[in-house]
Amino acid sequence: MAQVMVELRSRIFYRLQFLSFSYLDGQKTGRLLSKYAFDTQKVEGLLYMILNQLLPDLVMGVAILAILAWMNWVLLLVLLLAIPVYASAKIFFFGKIKKVNHDNRIAQEKLTGTASEYISALRLVRSFGEEDQAEQALEVSSSTFASSRVAQSYVNALFGTYVHVGMQMLSLILIAGGAIMAIQGHVTIGTLFAFMAGFGYILHPIHLFIGMSEHYFAAQEGYMSIKELVDSEYVEQWNGTHREERIDGNISYRGVSFSYPSAPEKTVIDNLNLELKAGESVAFVGPSGSGKSTLANLLLGLYAPTSGRIFIDEMPQSVWDMRWMRRQVAVVMQDSILLSGSIFDNIRFARPTATAEEVHHAAQQANAEEFILRMQEGYDTLVGERGGSLSGGQRQRIAIARSILRNPPVLILVEATSALDYESERLIQEALERLSKGRTVITIAHRLSTIKNADRIIVLRDGVIVEQGNFKELSDQKGVFSELITAQSVGSKFLDT
C-alpha cells in the first residue's frame, strides 16, 4: 500500500510539471498542496482501514454466510431485507453526503491556500503591522472549514444512525422469525442459535463500514479531487521531440500575438516581428505592461502564442522538445529563488552531475566565493527557505553561479541587479558580464543604466516595438527611450533630495 501512495503522489507531482501556466496562474499554491498532501492522506487512510480491518471481517462474514445458507436457506432470505435498508439510505443520504464532503474539501483547500499565502508573506504582514487583517482572513477561512466539518459530521451521523437502527431491526426480525419457525418445527434450536451467533459476524463488516463511512466518503471526494488534477486537460501543448547537442541561440518572433487566457480581450503582444542573432545582447525596455516579460515567457514555452510562431535556430518552436529546450536557457530573476538546502546544492541544481571543482569555479566566476568562504559552514551553509538567511545580493550571486554552471547558449536576465546596494550591484554586474560572453542574452530592464552595453535595445509599448537601436542611437532620437531616461533621471534626483 505504501508503494501505491508513493506512486499516486509521484503522478500528482509529475502532472504538475506539465500543467500550463494559464491554469496554474489561477490556482493557489495551498490548493495544489492540499491535493498533494491531504487528499492523498484521506485515500491512504481509507485503504489502510479496508485492507487491515474491513477485508478480513468481510472474508469471515462471507464464509459464515455460506455455512448458514447451507444450514437453512429460508432464514437466509431475511438477510435480503438489508437491501431495501441500504437502497433507502442511498436515496436519502448519498447525495447529501457527497455534497457536504465536496464542500468540506473546497473549504479545506481555501483554508490551506489562505494559510500558505499569509505564512509566505509574514514579512509583508509584520512590516505593515497588519497582523489583525491576516488573522481575520484566516479566521474566516477556518470558520468556513469548521462549519463544513460540522455539516459533514451531522450528515454522516444521521446516515450511520439510520443504517445502524435498520440493522438492529433486521436482527430482531431474524430472531423473531427464527423463533416462530423453531416453535413450528421448521428449524432446529441448534440451527436458530447458529444463525443468531453467525449473524453478528455477518453484520460486523456492515457496522464497520458504517463506522468508516465518513472516511469512505471523504476519501472518495479526495480521490475525485486528485483525479481532477491528474486528468486535467490544462496541459502544455508541446509535443515536439527534436533535440540538438547545443543550440546556436538564433531566435525569431514572426507575427507573434498573445493574450493571457484570463484576459483574452487584452492583447499583450501585437503582431510582433523580431530577429535575435546568436551571441547578440538584446535588452527589452518599456513601461510596465508593455510585454517585456511576456516575450521571455513565450520563448521558454510557458505560454503559447495566440497567433504567429517563434523559431529557434530556424526551426519552429513546436518542433523542439520544450522541456529539453529549457535546459538550454538560464534565467536570472529579480528575486532569485533558492531551494532550502546548502549553498553547494543550490548551485549544483543547474547541473546535478557537476563536480565540486566545477561548482567552486562557478562560484568564483559569480563573485560569490568571497562571501561563501566567510561563512562558518562554507559551501555547506544552509540558506533557509527561499534563501531567507542570505542578503539579496548574495542570493543573486548564487543564482548567477548556478547559471554559469549550466553554461547555457541563451541567457535571460530579469531585472537582475535591481534593488541592490552599489557594491552588490558592481559585483553582480561583473559576474553577469562574464556569464554573458558568447551567448544570446535577453535582458528585461527598468533601470536603463544597466543596459548601456547592450548590442541592441528594443523599446516596447502595448506589445508593439516602437524603437530599436543601441543606447546612444536611442538617446539621441528624442523618442520614447529618451523620455524614459529623462523620467528616471528626474526620479533619481528627487530621491537624492
Q: Does residue 200 belong to any structural domain of this protein? A: yes
Confirm whether pTM is higher than 0.85. no
CATH number at residue 115: 1.20.1560.10
What is the pLDDT, as a whole number, of residue 15? Answer: 66
Query: How many structural domains compose the chain?
Result: 2
Specify whether 221 is located in the same domain as 259.
no
| Calpha distance 418→448 (Å, rounded) | 11
Bridge partners (DSSP) of residue 269 are 258
> 133 CB contacts (<8 Å, ≥6 apart)?
125
Q: End of a domain among 198, 230, 262?
A: 230
What is the pLDDT, as a whole number, of residue 92? Answer: 75
| Calpha distance 374→316 (Å, rounded) | 48
Specify whether 350 is located in the same domain as 436.
yes
What is the pLDDT, as a whole number, of residue 315? Answer: 92
Q: Nearest-CA neighbor of 447 among 334, 289, 280, 279?
A: 334
| Calpha distance 240→183 (Å, rounded) | 81
Four-CA torsion 35, 38, 42, 43, nearest 10 degrees? 40
| Calpha distance 493→487 (Å, rounded) | 10
What is the pLDDT, as a whole number, of residue 172? Answer: 75
Specify whether 294 is located in the same domain as 347.
yes
| Calpha distance 446→293 (Å, rounded) | 11
Could you give the C-alpha distances from 270 to 5, 282, 463, 468, 484, in angstroms and in order?
46, 19, 5, 16, 22
What is the pLDDT, as a whole number, of residue 142? Answer: 83
Q: End of a domain among 175, 199, 230?
A: 230
Specify whether 325 is located in the same domain as 201.
no
Cβ atoms 141, 110 nearer than 8 A? yes
Residue 190 CA, distance from chain mean position: 63
- The H or E element that residue 331 is part of is strand 329-332
Q: Does residue 245 belong to any structural domain of this protein? A: no
SS3 content of the chain, % helix, strand, coil (to 5): 60, 10, 25
Specify whether 166 is located in the same domain as 277.
no
Q: Give the number of other Cβ atoms within 10 Å of residue 472's Cβ.
A: 9
Cβ atoms 428, 396 nearer than 8 A? yes
Specify whether 358 is located in the same domain as 443.
yes
What is the pLDDT, as a whole number, of residue 293? Answer: 87
What is the pLDDT, as a whole number, of residue 497? Answer: 38
Specify whether 425 is located in the same domain as 387.
yes
> 71 CB contacts (<8 Å, ≥6 apart)?
191, 194, 195
Cβ atoms 210, 160 nearer than 8 A? yes
Tallying the residues shown for the chain, one arrives at 497
Specify whether 220 is located in the same domain as 255.
no
Q: Does residue 240 belong to any structural domain of this protein? A: no
Specify whether 160 is located in the same domain as 259.
no
Range of the domain at 162: 2-230
Average pLDDT per block of 10 residues along the chain, 497 residues long: 63 64 61 68 71 71 70 65 66 77 80 73 63 80 84 80 75 73 72 68 67 68 70 67 88 92 84 92 86 88 88 91 86 77 88 90 86 88 77 83 87 71 70 80 81 87 89 83 74 42
Specify whether 190 is located in the same domain as 293.
no
What is the pLDDT, as a whole number, of residue 251? Answer: 92
> 229 CB contacts (<8 Å, ≥6 apart)?
12, 15, 16, 32, 35
Q: Phi-psi category of 462—alpha, beta or left, where left has phi over 0 and alpha has psi -120 to 50?
A: left
What is the pLDDT, as a whole number, of residue 496? Answer: 43
CATH number at residue 317: 3.40.50.300
Residue type, 209: F
Going by DSSP bridges, is the β-strand pair 410-414/440-444 parallel, antiparallel, or unpaired?
A: parallel
| Calpha distance 354→411 (Å, rounded) | 19
Q: Nearest-CA neighbor of 473 among 460, 491, 490, 455?
A: 455
- The H or E element that residue 214 is part of is helix 213-230
Q: Does residue 196 belong to any structural domain of this protein? A: yes
Going by DSSP bridges, is the β-strand pair 456-461/464-469 parallel, antiparallel, or unpaired?
A: antiparallel
Q: Which residue has the cell 491556500?
A: 113
Helix (H, G, I), strand (E, B) or coil at 128: coil
Specify whether 352 is located in the same domain as 398.
yes
Q: Does residue 238 belong to any structural domain of this protein? A: no
| Calpha distance 219→41 (Å, rounded) | 8
Q: Does residue 180 belong to any structural domain of this protein? A: yes
10 Å CB burial of residue 317 (0-12, 13-18, 19+) is buried
